[in-house]
Structure 1
Amino acid sequence: MPNDKALDALSSFLGDRFSTSKGVLEAHAQSETFVTAPPPEGVAFPETTEEVTEIVRICAEHDCPVIGWGAGTSLEGHALALRGGVTVDFSRMNKILAIDVEDMNAIVQPGVTREELNHELRATGLFFPVDPGANATLGGMAATRASGTTAVRYGTMRDNVKALEVVLADGRVIRTGTKARKSSTGYDLTGLMVGSEGTLGLMTELTLRLQAQPEATSAAVCAFETIDQAIATAMTTIQMAIPMARIELLDGTGVAAVNAYSKTSLPECAHLLVEFHGSETSVKEDAERFGEIAEEFEAKSFDWATRQEDRTRLWAARHNAYWALQAYKPSTTGFSTDICVPISKLGQAIADTNKALEEADFIASIIGHVGDGNYHVNMFVDVSDPVQKEQAKAQAEGMAERALKLGGTVSGEHGIGFGKLKFMRQEHGDAWDVMGQIKRTLDPQNIMNPGKMVPGN
């Protein structure tokens, strides 16, 4: 094996926290979709920043690739070992280091999951708002610049990471950002690292912005005869500046799958799932205004969920939509892709996608964070059928092309990995070359997650 010396050195350093067993390697070659790559050559399980530093130093000495691993829930092959090397699994770096209630910050290691953090925050009156659905690690969420259902109000990981500790490719440990709410000093290295997908360094500590639990919360499910009516309602709501905490779209196929999986009984047509946060008065007023808009676009039904258990059940059903669709077509493999377009172009983008999907030989569903113009298509494909696989790839590429023509981006949430690398030049032009120059400056050996994100990598 080309990296035997690095593997031997890491085994001596970490002992039984370094594995080359077949089962462990194969577990770190899994993807949530059919994007595939060979297993890594070894998996390291560090517990401290100092250990991560030594792992990277050893790998740099032997020109061995280093790939970060969180919960393994990424969708574009971000954490797969394209060129072999060592996967650094952060599951043992899972400590909440500090919670500062007065300044509304939390300091965590990268292996802490968002659900673990919010469980710990319950008694403080604070919460961490970024909710991608999966119980992803916060380090992985930062590395992929995750967002989710609440981004329309609270922003993405870019808006909620204040500071980082990062191990660079040469073993240096740097700190970016501060606990302060803002800064105007120097380059924004925190912003550079968030979304870099492990190609510039490994995050070993994150300082996160917390939010106050709202005084009142209300949610609703709203059914429409057509998906166009649902989209028009969402677009009008956002354009009228009604402060939604969440506004999610499910098409009829998605609703049918959710009903079967989560034992709900929603009408099998397009739905908006909405949530409002604020004071008792503001939530009531915002909900009433939304109801008027929904009525204007001929909503079929409008059901409120004000009790905590009802809201929990509602959003659990939404978050389980991917698995519901997988269970709806159990002999298939899921392939999920996303794009993001300006709000004014959302209706056109989804209509064009729906029309294209009518010609596919597989089941598919559109699910959207429509409050910020981001939507997903979940395609469930028989991977033994080469025609279906090619159709799925063509559908994903068609979505990306449409997004760029409409002034959008090929991914609002899933990221690039190597699944969407081919579109980076088209979206960014010469700026993509600048990304490559930054990569080569910080990682001249190209050991940090090679094959992802930038040109010539």
Structure 2
Amino acid sequence: MIQESTQTAQPKRTSQQAIELLKQRFGNQLSTNMTVREQHGHTMTWLPNQPPDAVLTVKNKQEVSEAVKICHEHDMPVIAFGIGSSLEGHLNAPHGGLCIDMHQMDEILQVNNEDLTVTVQPGVTREQLNHYLRDTGLFFPIDPGANASIGGMVATRASGTNAVRYGTMKDVVLSLEVVMADGEIIRTGTRAKKSAAGYDLTRLFIGSEGTLGIVTEITLKLFGIPETTGSGICHFPSIEDACGAVMTTIQMCLPIARIELLDALQIKACNQYANLELQETPTLFVEFHGTENGVNEQAELFADIIEEFGGTDFHWDTNEAERKRLWTARHNAYHAACALKPNARALSTDACVPISRLAECVSATAKDIADAGMIGPIVGHVGDGNFHVLLLVDNDNPKEVQTAEEIIGRLAERAIAMDGTCTGEHGIGQGKQKYMPKEHGNALAVMQAIKSALDPKNIMNPSKIWDTGMIGT
């Protein structure tokens, strides 16, 4: 049922000749083992598994280029794979083809301390990068929760808990090296912090979900590790009150680094999963960055704001161990929520709205879930209007599956109607294609024209973002 409603069936394209050529060139780096193929087609998504015909593990950009050239010559689809933490079927291979696994391209190539930049290969993960930078006084702030690869974060335009202060991937990527659909390698920019020289190709590829090319090198902005970091928690009588406090915090230009919402059900899940004893009401997790005096001032101002909205039991600390304990609980929210219904499948979705509509959208979504009799904790990077719903569904119960899909659909429609987006972080992939025409209107045709121009054979991650049939291939 999910398969029918989210992805139109397409004829599978295969090329045995291409696979033979790939075997000759790459030997044991190429696998056609079904288990390996399924691992690369189905990861954290709830969509049905559509494995590629083969998986190639690459070590450098030249190998990526050579493999893509072979696939281009034989009209064979190509899907790039990082860590596998995507949620909307980005890595599925509905037409078969070659999955290029980038995880061994994990070198940190150059750190420029004076310029606050770093250049990395796509297989580097955010945790690996920050571990490497720990003695430089610098850090990479984009934190989507999962230990995603930098290449995957570029592909999905990732953001996360720090976005309210440091922005998203589009704000921290300076330049890219990309293998195009014909195997040619291009570079989209420089280490300069700004440029007025021609089209901004860097941001064209950010968020393109591997449909325009394969990123093989990324140059990123870095930031200084703050002198003091303070983390805190506070509780509210309702979601509306918590969101009201968030909106006022943003409107007062308080330079808060993180501000995360967990609803009462998610707090209950975290308590059970991590042996916590938090008050099971809508809760904000916050973090302040700056000098010692600056952090103290931010915390005092925040305390004044939440008092107006019934916020209670606000306490914060600069202790590193306490901060890690707090944010570990937040980052484990997905697994904690899944434990509420152990035999269920997790249908994770997100939306993003203007901050002024956040309380309305979150409240309406929570009511929708409750009225439908479903279990669906809500968490959110609410400082930028983005929140997530994790619906726990018995996949063997067709009515429950249908109800969950309807809730997801209503959330997407609700966010778009509020001048928001059907996805703030997860991306489109296969799962949210149906909402693209309503969100983008005639602009969707411009996206399709770009795709056709850069990938005329439609081999780069086909049938993602929109159905292949929509562009006549």
Partner in structure 1 of residue 235 of structure 2: 223
Partner in structure 2 of residue 84 of structure 1: 96
Q: 1:378 aligns with which of 374, 390, 396?
A: 390
Superposed CA RMSD in Å reads 1.0
Q: 1:335 aligns with which of 332, 347, 350?
A: 347
> Following the alignment from structure 2 to structure 1, what is the Cα–Cα distance between the partners of residues 138 and 349?
32
Following TM superposition, by how much is the alpha carbon of 1:22 offset from its aligned partner in structure 2, in angstroms? 1.4
Counterpart amino acid of 1:10? Answer: L
The answer to whether residue 69 in structure 2 is matched with residue 65 in structure 1 is no
2:52–2:93 Cα contact (<8 Å) kept: yes
Partner in structure 1 of residue 113 of structure 2: 101
Counterpart amino acid of 2:352? Answer: C
Partner in structure 1 of residue 373 of structure 2: 361
Following TM superposition, by how much is the alpha carbon of 1:255 offset from its aligned partner in structure 2, in angstroms? 0.3
Q: 2:173 aligns with which of 153, 161, 172?
A: 161
1:250–1:272 Cα contact (<8 Å) kept: yes
**Structure 1 residue matching 2:55: 3-state secondary structure:** strand
Following TM superposition, by how much is the alpha carbon of 1:23 offset from its aligned partner in structure 2, in angstroms? 1.4
> What is the CA deviation profile of residues 313-344 of structure 1, one whole-angstrom value per residue up to 9, with x for unaligned ones?
11110010010011221111111111110010
> Following the alignment from structure 1 to structure 2, what is the Cα–Cα distance between the partners of residues 84 and 145?
25
Partner in structure 1 of residue 291 of structure 2: 279
**Structure 1 residue matching 2:21: 3-state secondary structure:** helix
2:38–2:49 Cα contact (<8 Å) kept: no
Following TM superposition, by how much is the alpha carbon of 1:303 offset from its aligned partner in structure 2, in angstroms? 1.9
Following TM superposition, by how much is the alpha carbon of 1:2 offset from its aligned partner in structure 2, in angstroms? 2.9
> Following the alignment from structure 1 to structure 2, what is the Cα–Cα distance between the partners of residues 158 and 296?
35
Q: Which deviates the most, 75-84 or 27-36?
A: 27-36
Counterpart amino acid of 2:255? Answer: P
> Following the alignment from structure 1 to structure 2, what is the Cα–Cα distance between the partners of residues 195 and 378?
23
> Following the alignment from structure 1 to structure 2, what is the Cα–Cα distance between the partners of residues 2 and 250?
45
- TM-score, normalising length from structure 2? 0.95
Partner in structure 2 of residue 403 of structure 1: 415
Q: 1:48 aligns with which of 48, 51, 60?
A: 60
Following TM superposition, by how much is the alpha carbon of 1:305 offset from its aligned partner in structure 2, in angstroms? 2.6
Following TM superposition, by how much is the alpha carbon of 1:361 offset from its aligned partner in structure 2, in angstroms? 3.5
Aligned pairs for 1:392-431 (under 5 A) are: 392-431=404-443
Counterpart amino acid of 2:20? Answer: D
Q: Which runs of 5+ in 2 are unaligned?
A: 1-12
Partner in structure 2 of residue 445 of structure 1: 457
Q: 1:293 aligns with which of 288, 293, 305?
A: 305
**Structure 2 residue matching 1:448: 3-state secondary structure:** coil
Following TM superposition, by how much is the alpha carbon of 1:33 offset from its aligned partner in structure 2, in angstroms? 2.9
> Following the alignment from structure 1 to structure 2, what is the Cα–Cα distance between the partners of residues 261 and 10?
46
> Following the alignment from structure 1 to structure 2, what is the Cα–Cα distance between the partners of residues 38 and 345?
37
> Following the alignment from structure 1 to structure 2, what is the Cα–Cα distance between the partners of residues 209 and 193?
17
**Structure 2 residue matching 1:68: 3-state secondary structure:** strand
Q: 2:249 aligns with which of 223, 227, 237?
A: 237
1:29–1:36 Cα contact (<8 Å) kept: no
> Following the alignment from structure 1 to structure 2, what is the Cα–Cα distance between the partners of residues 123 and 300?
38
The answer to whether residue 263 in structure 2 is matched with residue 254 in structure 1 is no
Following TM superposition, by how much is the alpha carbon of 1:300 offset from its aligned partner in structure 2, in angstroms? 2.5
Partner in structure 2 of residue 33 of structure 1: 45
1:248–1:371 Cα contact (<8 Å) kept: yes
> Following the alignment from structure 2 to structure 1, what is the Cα–Cα distance between the partners of residues 389 and 34?
33
**Structure 2 residue matching 1:404: 3-state secondary structure:** helix
Q: Which runs of 5+ in 1 are unaligned?
A: none
The answer to whether residue 143 in structure 2 is matched with residue 131 in structure 1 is yes
2:386–2:424 Cα contact (<8 Å) kept: yes
> Following the alignment from structure 2 to structure 1, what is the Cα–Cα distance between the partners of residues 368 and 315?
32
Aligned pairs for 1:143-154 (under 5 A) are: 143-154=155-166
Following TM superposition, by how much is the alpha carbon of 1:276 offset from its aligned partner in structure 2, in angstroms? 0.6
2:235–2:314 Cα contact (<8 Å) kept: yes
> Following the alignment from structure 1 to structure 2, what is the Cα–Cα distance between the partners of residues 366 and 245?
20
Partner in structure 2 of residue 205 of structure 1: 217
> Following the alignment from structure 1 to structure 2, what is the Cα–Cα distance between the partners of residues 433 and 376?
28
Following TM superposition, by how much is the alpha carbon of 1:186 offset from its aligned partner in structure 2, in angstroms? 0.3
Counterpart amino acid of 1:429? Answer: G
